[in-house]
Amino acid sequence: MSLEKKKGMQTKNKVLISAISLVVIAGAAAGVYFGIRNHNNANGISGNATGGNAPPITTAPARTSGAPTPSPTPAPQPLHNGTMVNGTLLPYYTLTGPAPAPATIAGKVYTNCIVPGTYSISYDDGPSTYTNELLDILDREQIKATFFVNGNNNGCIYDPAVRAAISRAYKSGHQIASHTWSHVALTTQTTAQITTQMRRVEQALLELIGVVPRYMRPPYGDGTFANGSANDVKVQTTLAGLGYVITTWDIATGDADIDDNDTPHKLSDAELARLEQANVTNVVNADPKGANHMQLMHDTYQRTVTQLTPWSITYIKGLGYKLVTVAECLGDTDPRNWYQTFQAPIANPPTTCTP
C-alpha cells in the first residue's frame, strides 16, 4: 500500500472514532439526565419547590467541637407540607380528615406511657444554650421529643435565641408543652397565681408559634405526689379548668440534681454517666419486661445533651422501644391534640419578661 493511501485511511479512522465518541458521550449524558429525572419523579421531587410530595428529610449536622451556643437563626429544617388548622399552619405533619377525640383527660396525672412498645424522652426547664445542639442530635436520629418550656427561668422566652430554639423545635415536629412561667412549686401558689403562671406561657407561645399547649408538667412534680391533699386538689383542679393534661415521669435521670455546668465539673464524665445510667436501668430492670416509660431530662445541662441523650437513645432502641413524644405515648397520636388553640402568630410580641 502506498504511503499516501495509508495516511488517508488513518485520517478517516480518526474522524470515525471521534464521531463514535461524540455519540457515546451524548448518549451517556442523556441517560444520566433522564435517569436523574425519573429518580426525582419517583420520589415526588420536582423543579417547583411547592409542588409534589415533600422531599426526603434532611438533618442538621451535629457539632463536632466547641461549646454549643444558641443562634437567633434556626438551622434549615426539613421541608414538609404541614396541615392548616384554624387558618394557621401546623408544621411538619401532613394530616387528613378531622382530628380524633383526645385520648387523654385534662386534669388527670399521667406518669407512664400507656401505648404498648413506646418510650418517651422529654426535656424540662429550657430552652437553653444547649438546646440547638440537642435538636441537631434528635434530627439526626429522626426522633421526636417533648419540650416542657418555661417563660422566664434559664432565659427569657422573648430573647431571640430562646425564641429561635422553640420555633425550630416546633417546626421540626417536636411537641411543645408548658412548664409554667417561672418554675415555681405550684402547691405554694393560689389558684389565681397558678393561672397566671400558665397564662403567661400561653401568651408567649401564641405570639411565637401560634399555639396553646394541652400538656404541662408541674415543676418538681409538685401537686401530684399527695393525691387527695388539699394542695394537690387545688393544683389539679386549676389545671383541669385551664384545659391541661398533667404529665410527670417514672424515670428521673437525676441530671438536675447531680450535674452542673461548672468548670471543672464536680463529677467526672465517667462518674456522672455511671450514676445517670443507673437511674435509668434500675427502673427498667425492676419493671416487667416491656413496661412503658417516661424519662425526664433537662436540656439546661451540656452533658445531658452531649452524653446522656445519645446513650439513652442507643439504650432505649436496644430494648426494642419506639421513641415518641409524651402525647403519642399516651395515645394522642394526632398532633392537633397536642395543643388547645391554633392561631396565626402575632407579628409584634412583647420583648421583655419583666411584669
DSSP assignment of 89-107, as one string? Answer: EE-S----SSPPPPSS-TT
How many C-beta atoms surround the C-beta of residue 158 within 10 A? 17
C-alpha cell at 55: 422531599
Which positions are catalytic? 124, 298
Q: What is the DSSP letter of 304?
A: I
How many C-beta atoms surround the C-beta of residue 131 within 10 A? 27
User: Looking up cell 485520517, which residue turns up?
Assistant: 11
Q: Which residues contact 134 (CB under 8 A, 6 or more apart)?
A: 123, 299, 305, 309
- In the chain, which ranges are E strands? 83-85, 88-90, 109-110, 118-124, 146-149, 175-178, 211-213, 215-216, 245-247, 251-252, 293-298, 322-324, 339-342
d(Cα 148, Cα 179) in Å, to the nearest integer?
5
Phi, psi torsion values for 287, nearest 5 degrees: -90, 160
Q: Closest Cα partner for 148 from 105, 104, 201? A: 201
Find the helix packing angle between 191-208 and 160-171, rounded to 10°: 80
